[in-house]
Structure 1
Amino acid sequence: MSGVKSLKIALLGCGTVGAQVARILLEDQTEITARSGAQLELIGIAVRNLSAQRDVQLPDGLFTTDAEALIDAADVVIELLGGLDPAGAYIARALERGASVITGNKALIAAEGATLNALAAANGAQLRYEAAVAGAIPILRPIADSLAGDHITKVMGIVNGTTNFILDAMDSTGAAFDDVLAEAQALGYAEADPTADVGGHDAAAKAAILASLAFHTTVNMDQVHCQGITEITAADVSEARKTGYVIKLLAIAEQTEAGISARVYPALLKRDHPLASVRGAFNAVFVEAENAGDLMFYGAGAGGAPTASAVMGDVVSVARVLASGASLPAASQLREPVLSEFTEVTTRYWVGLAVNDQPGMLARIASVFAEHGVSIEAMNQSAAESGTAQLRILTHEGSEAALSSTVSALEALDTVASVTSVLRVEGN
């Protein structure tokens, strides 16, 4: 096309998302050229197995096992292999030669994002990774660009579709965790080994990315407090429902006077909170900013076509810059991360206790809370069975340190048979 810059695109990986990206590049080339100002030519797709079955029928001549040669011939590299190696080496190779990179690799960005961003800046290349967090939902670009002139104080989101599907099904059906997990695996929402999802690790990688972008610093995944949903019981979900709450696995990035906190854990939300209505495998991210106020971004958090949409958004953005010939803005100065200790995080607790139903029991339990400076907001006791009653206590806001020490002291009481659950409460 006369007068339109031509850009050579290399695609690394042709799984569920990669196949859809290739399809869009081939089928929608005319529209993408009009939107980006550049003609994008898919010059090859690097795969491990040339004979593997693909979700989309693509020309055989595009496939190669020589990823490095493909990278060296490209203006733009799309990395959709996942994992740290060899994806990290491939991205570094592309950036070192000045090729721009789009990736959906959350684990790599959470671990090596600062290094790769610096490498991109040093070589006049772009590195974009919208697809690394919340699938099709445009959240990273709004945080990095649209809200760049604002001061974000908190980002809180449901960023893992598997865990949201499980918790939503437990809430709506009353089923136990193991039963819903098996259903999620049968439906393809959960992997055969679901540890990364139900253990909170997938969400923790995304929390690190969100914290880094929102607060213009570098937060690594190992700096994120991480707790999964494997201990959530049907009783927890049922009691939460009775009191007007729903349990969600939340990824939270927050900046307070104490510093930056990044954390993942199951928490109670009031049913009128915007995130409480997120159902099934959908994702949503709630952003609090000083001037913009409260914003929520909602949509499909996974899947081939939705995630490919996020990748293609980055592709068009990169192509526009390259087509215009404009120089990239100087990289913003990253602040040294001032991380608060998790013990300094301020939240509320919802504590479940199995207690010996005897005179003076409630007074002794209340005194433990008072001794640790934790105020009780509400208390509910269910009918006793065989001398043991179930007690649920909701606290007022307190530090994680004070709340945690309170729970430890409760465990030592002879009137407490066991602490059956400890959950945090988020939102207003």
Structure 2
Amino acid sequence: MNEALVAPVRIGLAGLGTVGSGLVAVLQQNAEWISARLGRGVAVKTVLVRDLAKPRAVTLGPEVVLTTDAEALVTDPDIDIVVELMGGIDAAFALIHKALSAGKHVVTANKALLAKRGPELFALAAAKGLGLYYEASCAGAVPIVETLKSSLAGNRIKSIIGILNGTANYILSSMSEKGLPFAAALKKAQDLGYAEADPTLDIQGYDAAHKLIVLIRLAYGRNLPLDKLPVEGITAVTPEDIRFAREFGYAIKLIGQVRDLDGRLAAGVWPMLVHEEFLLASVKGAFNAVRVEGDASGPIMLHGKGAGDLPTASAVLADVLALAREGMIPNNTGFRTEPLPEAELVDPDDFISPHYIHFTVKDQPGVMAAISKSMGEHGVSIRQAVQKGEPEDGYVSIVFLTHEAANRAITGVLTDTGAMAFIKPGTVHFRVL
């Protein structure tokens, strides 16, 4: 047997937080199994940390070197693969760039970095003939990256629709199941460790947006600049709207989706009403789920834990093993073209879907007629209209479900009705999947 294949694969690990500690734990726990799969072991040689004295969640072997010097990872000739799990943009970019320049494969879970500066790094990896792998960047343990890159490589992808952020899904599940207001559901998620102290990326939809950018690159071989992707978060969702949606047979979920419309992509991240008959509506708690439809495969649903130490470490380790296999030819984006062209987007105002609109109006004659007249003028067909509840302070809720309509038409309706004196400000609008 080749000497090089008997020696363990040596990892330089950047970051020993939740996921880094999980990776070390899995490597220790499944060492014999990994060796049986790969034909040799996988060993952590050096770990980059910020504070050498900080207590660790895992026990490192005496052979493992702790360092605060990033150069120790990228210049060490004994390190085969650099694993970046420290997060952030600038420092992570610099580390990965240096590692690739030094001839080392890289594994990362950094979806924000890949969404914002991925094209630069993929171009460098291609030029060097190296692997830049990132299964853990999109949905934790859910193997969506490899599915798009390899398993569905012969398909033209018609659509991807997913619950891509476990924190947002946990919050919406808590609001739905326990009737909690948004702030209380967020606090519960933070207490359980599902949400960060600053939850902005999760609740404003940006984390899901980062992941969707990565999936679009894999599915369509196109780079989509993050600032061109429409993004809305879940902060406007109320228990009242969740209750109304349920009465109509829907759940409210934060959805990231992209559809191929004759070569142009209709993509975005929004809270949406998902019919209870769809599998996505039944995804609870901090789980992720992705529905992919290929022209040959038809629809495929992937579901699993979207975060956490061991689930995410499982995906990181899958990339490490893939890069360590003998004869491996790097497959970073699923396409041989480099650089990838920019995606052509459908104008967000032209996106077509059914819609949910919740007006709070004065309890007086003529209100329904005035709203219906505006909808008719903008070509919006009403599927269902219901007055909900008893008057409170002289106001009642009126909820409309529409047939398919362009977002431009709905914007026109909201502009018209926003000027009507009998409608209280703060009309709620969600798309319907």
Please, what TM-score do these two structures have when normalized by structure 1?
A: 0.94
Decide whether the 8 Å contact of 1:131 with 1:311 is kept in 2.
yes
Q: Give the equivalent residue in structure 2 for 1:21.
A: 23
Q: The residue matched to 2:241 in structure 1 has which SS?
A: helix
Instruction: Give the Cα–Cα distance (whole angstroms) in 1 for the partners of residues 328 and 267 of structure 2.
Output: 38
- Cα distance, 1:159 vs structure 2: 1.1
Q: Give the equivalent residue in structure 2 for 1:213.
A: 218
Instruction: Give the Cα–Cα distance (whole angstroms) in 2 for the partners of residues 326 and 114 of structure 1.
Output: 19
Decide whether the 8 Å contact of 1:258 with 1:344 is kept in 2.
no
Q: Give the equivalent residue in structure 2 for 1:401.
A: 408
Aligned counterpart in structure 1 of residue 35 of structure 2, from 26, 29, 33: 33
Q: Give the equivalent residue in structure 2 for 1:169.
A: 174
Give the alignment's Cα RMSD to 1 decimal. Answer: 1.9
Q: Does 1:133 pair with 2:138?
A: yes
Instruction: Give the Cα–Cα distance (whole angstroms) in 1 for the partners of residues 290 and 67 of structure 2.
Output: 38
Q: Given residue 114 of structure 1, which amino acid in structure 2 is its aligned partner?
A: P
Identity %: 41
Gaps of 5+ in 2: none
Decide whether the 8 Å contact of 2:323 with 2:330 is kept in 1.
no
Decide whether the 8 Å contact of 2:385 with 2:398 is kept in 1.
yes
Deviations, residues 119-163 of structure 1 (Å, cap 9, x unaligned): 101001001001001111100110111111001111111111111
Q: The residue matched to 1:110 in structure 2 has which SS?
A: helix
- Cα distance, 1:3 vs structure 2: 4.5
Decide whether the 8 Å contact of 1:76 with 1:99 is kept in 2.
yes
Q: Given residue 242 of structure 2, which amino acid in structure 1 is its aligned partner?
A: V
Aligned counterpart in structure 2 of residue 241 of structure 1, from 246, 251, 269: 246
Q: Does 1:9 pair with 2:14?
A: no
- Cα distance, 1:62 vs structure 2: 2.3
Q: Does 1:122 pair with 2:115?
A: no
Q: The residue matched to 2:60 in structure 1 has which SS?
A: coil
Q: Give the equivalent residue in structure 1 for 2:350.
A: 344
Instruction: Give the Cα–Cα distance (whole angstroms) in 1 for the partners of residues 31 and 425 of structure 2.
Output: 62
Q: The residue matched to 2:180 in structure 1 has which SS?
A: coil
- Cα distance, 1:2 vs structure 2: 6.2
Instruction: Give the Cα–Cα distance (whole angstroms) in 2 for the partners of residues 336 and 211 of structure 1.
Output: 11
Aligned counterpart in structure 2 of residue 384 of structure 1, from 379, 391, 397: 391
Q: The residue matched to 1:44 in structure 2 has which SS?
A: strand
Q: Does 1:225 pair with 2:230?
A: yes
Deviations, residues 39-71 of structure 1 (Å, cap 9, x unaligned): 433211111111112111113542111221222
Q: Does 1:357 pair with 2:380?
A: no
1:170-319 mapped onto 2 (5 Å cutoff): 170-257=175-262, 259-319=264-324
Q: Give the equivalent residue in structure 1 for 2:80.
A: 75
Deviations, residues 192-223 of structure 1 (Å, cap 9, x unaligned): 11111111111111111111111111113222
Aligned counterpart in structure 1 of residue 162 of structure 2, from 153, 157, 161: 157
- Cα distance, 1:262 vs structure 2: 2.6
Instruction: Give the Cα–Cα distance (whole angstroms) in 2 for the partners of residues 380 and 200 of structure 1.
Output: 30
- Cα distance, 1:417 vs structure 2: 3.1
Gaps of 5+ in 1: none
Aligned counterpart in structure 2 of residue 144 of structure 1, from 137, 149, 155: 149
Q: Given residue 37 of structure 2, which amino acid in structure 1 is its aligned partner?
A: R
Aligned counterpart in structure 2 of residue 49 of structure 1, from 48, 51, 61: 51
Decide whether the 8 Å contact of 2:131 with 2:330 is kept in 1.
no
Deviations, residues 58-94 of structure 1 (Å, cap 9, x unaligned): 1354211122122222221111010112110110111
Decide whether the 8 Å contact of 1:347 with 1:399 is kept in 2.
yes
Deviations, residues 90-131 of structure 1 (Å, cap 9, x unaligned): 101111122110000011011111111111010010010010
- Cα distance, 1:342 vs structure 2: 1.1
**CA 238–284 in structure 1, closer or farther in 2 if over 3 Å, else same:** same
Q: Given residue 67 of structure 1, which amino acid in structure 2 is its aligned partner?
A: A
Decide whether the 8 Å contact of 2:115 with 2:211 is kept in 1.
yes
Instruction: Give the Cα–Cα distance (whole angstroms) in 1 for the partners of residues 165 and 105 of structure 2.
Output: 28
Instruction: Give the Cα–Cα distance (whole angstroms) in 1 for the partners of residues 220 and 190 of structure 2.
Output: 36
**CA 162–260 in structure 1, closer or farther in 2 if over 3 Å, else same:** same
